[in-house]
A and B are shown apart, each in its own frame.
Chain A
Amino acid sequence: MTAQEIHDLLKERFGDAVTAAKLENVPDPFAVVAADRVRDIALFCRDDERLRFDYLMCLSGVDYKGKFGVTYHLHSLTHRHKFVLKVEVPADAPNVPSVESVWRTADWHEREAFDLYGIVFTGHPDLRRILLPYDWEGHPLRKDYQVPEFYNGMRVPY
Chain B
Amino acid sequence: MSEPTLETVTTSTGRRLRTEEMVVNMGPQHPSTHGVLRLEVVLDGEIVVDVIPHLGYLHRCFEKHCEHMTNYQQVVPYVDRMDYVAAMTNEHAYVVAAEKLLKIEVPERVHYIRIIMAELQRIASHLIAIGTFGIDMGAFTPFLYYFRDRERILDLFEMTCGARLLYNYMWIGGLSHDLPPQFTEKAKEFCTDFKRTMKEVNDLLNYNEIFIKRTANVGVLPKDLAVNYACSGPMLRGSGVDWDLRRDDPYTLYDRFEWNVITGNGEMGSVGDVWDRNMVRQREMAESVRIIEQALASLPEGDVQKAVPKRIRPVPGDAYGRVEGPRGELGFYIVAEDSVTPYRLKARAPAFVNLSVINEISKGAMLADLVAIVGSIDIVLGEVDR
Task: Name A residues whose Cβ lies closer than 8 Å to a Cβ of B.
Answer: 26-28, 30, 54-58, 60-63, 71, 73, 77, 80, 84, 103-105, 107-109, 116, 129-133, 140-141
Render B316-360 as a binary contact track against A, CB cut-off 8 A, 1 for contact: 011110100000010101010000000010101000110011001
Contact of A60 among B248, B346, B386 (CB under 8 A): B346
Nearest CB of chain B from residue A134's CB, rounded to whole Å? 9
Known contacts being A77-B243, A105-B353, A131-B55, is A58 close to B319, with CB within 8 Å?
A: no
Complex interface: chain B residues within 8 A of A71 (CB): 318, 333
Tell me the nearest residue of chain A to B228, going by C-beta: A104
For the A-B complex with A104-B225, A104-B360 known, give 17 more contacts whose Cβ atoms are closer than 8 Å. Answer: A27-B318, A28-B320, A56-B230, A57-B329, A60-B346, A60-B348, A61-B346, A73-B348, A84-B320, A103-B230, A104-B356, A105-B229, A105-B231, A105-B353, A108-B353, A108-B356, A132-B56
A-B contact pairs, 16 of them (CB 8 A): A27-B101, A28-B318, A28-B320, A57-B320, A57-B348, A71-B333, A73-B320, A73-B331, A73-B348, A84-B320, A103-B228, A104-B357, A104-B360, A105-B228, A130-B56, A132-B56
B283 interface residue (CB < 8 Å to A):
no
Chain A contacts for B101, CB-based, 8 A = 27
A41 CB, min distance to chain B CBs, angstroms: 18
The answer to whether B56 and A62 touch across the interface, beta carbons within 8 angstroms, is: no
B139 at the interface (CB under 8 A from A): no
Identity of the chain A residue whose Cβ is nearest the Cβ of B63 in the assembled complex: A141
Residues of B within 8 A of A26 (CB): 317-318
- Chain A residues with Cβ below 8 Å from B64 are 140-141
Give the residue among B230, B333, B385 with the most A Cβ atoms within 10 A: B230
B199 CB contacts on chain A under 8 angstroms: none
A57 CA to B320 CA in the complex, in Å?
10
Closest to A113 in B: B346
Check B100–A27 contact: CB distance below 8 A.
yes
Cβ of B75 to closest chain A Cβ, rounded Å: 15
CB distance from B147 to the nearest CB of A (A): 31
Whether B241 is near chain A, meaning CB under 8 Å from some CB there, is yes
A-side contacts of B229, CB under 8 Å: 103-105
The reply to whether A60 and B344 contact each other, CB–CB distance below 8 Å, is yes
CA distance in complex: A27, B333 (Å): 11
Interface residues on B, range: 35 or more
B residues bordering A, Cβ < 8 Å? 55-56, 59, 61, 63-64, 100-101, 103, 225, 227-231, 241, 243, 248-249, 317-320, 322, 329, 331, 333, 335, 344, 346, 348, 352-353, 356-357, 360, 385-386
Q: How distant is the Cα of A87 from the Cα of B216 in the complex, in angstroms?
A: 43
Q: How far is the CB of B133 from chain A (nearest CB, A)?
A: 23
**Cβ of B176 to closest chain A Cβ, rounded Å:** 25
A63 touches B63 (CB 8 A): no
| Bound form: Cα–Cα A61–B356 in Å | 18
| B261 CB → nearest A CB, Å | 13
Inter-subunit contact B230/A80 (CB<8 Å): no
Residues of B within 8 A of A30 (CB): 318
Which of B103, B225, B331, B357 meets A58, CB within 8 Å?
A: B331
- Residue numbers in B under 8 Å from A130 (CB-CB): 55-56
Q: Are B63 and A116 in contact (CB under 8 A)?
A: yes
List A contacts of B63 (CB < 8 A): 116, 141
- CB neighbours of A28 from chain B (8 A): 318-320
B52: nearest residue on chain A (CB-CB)? A126
Q: How far is the CB of A51 from chain B (nearest CB, A)?
A: 15
A57 and B352 within 8 A (CB): no
Most central of A130, A131, A141 by chain B CB within 10 Å: A131
Is there an interface contact between A62 and B320, defined as CB atoms closer than 8 Å? no
Complex Cα gap A133–B55 (Å):
9
Q: Which 4 A-B pairs have the closest CB atoms?
A: A105-B230, A27-B319, A60-B346, A58-B348
B100 touches A54 (CB 8 A): no
Pair B320/A131 contact, Cβ less than 8 Å: no
Contact call B228/A58, Cβ cutoff below 8 A: no
Contact between A62 and B335, CB atoms less than 8 A apart: yes
Q: Is the CB of A55 within 8 A of B230?
A: yes
Kindly list chain B residues whose C-beta atoms are within 8 Å of the C-beta of A131: 55-56, 59, 385-386
Q: Which residues of B contact A104 (CB under 8 A)?
A: 225, 228-229, 356-357, 360
Q: Which residue on B lies nearest to A56, using beta carbons?
A: B230
Min CB–CB distance B246 → chain A (angstroms): 14
Write the nearest CB–CB distance from B330 to chain A, whole angstroms: 11
Q: How far is the CA of A117 from the CA of B335 in the complex (A)?
A: 15
CA distance A130 to B319 in the complex (A): 25
Instruction: Write out the residue numbers on chain B whose beta carbons fall within 8 Å of the beta carbon of A116.
Output: 63
Collect the chain A residues with CB atoms within 8 Å of residue B248's CB.
Answer: 80
| Chain B neighbourhood of A57, CB < 8 A | 230, 320, 322, 329, 331, 348
Q: Are B228 and A108 in contact (CB under 8 A)?
A: no
Q: Which residues of B contact A54 (CB under 8 A)?
A: 227-228
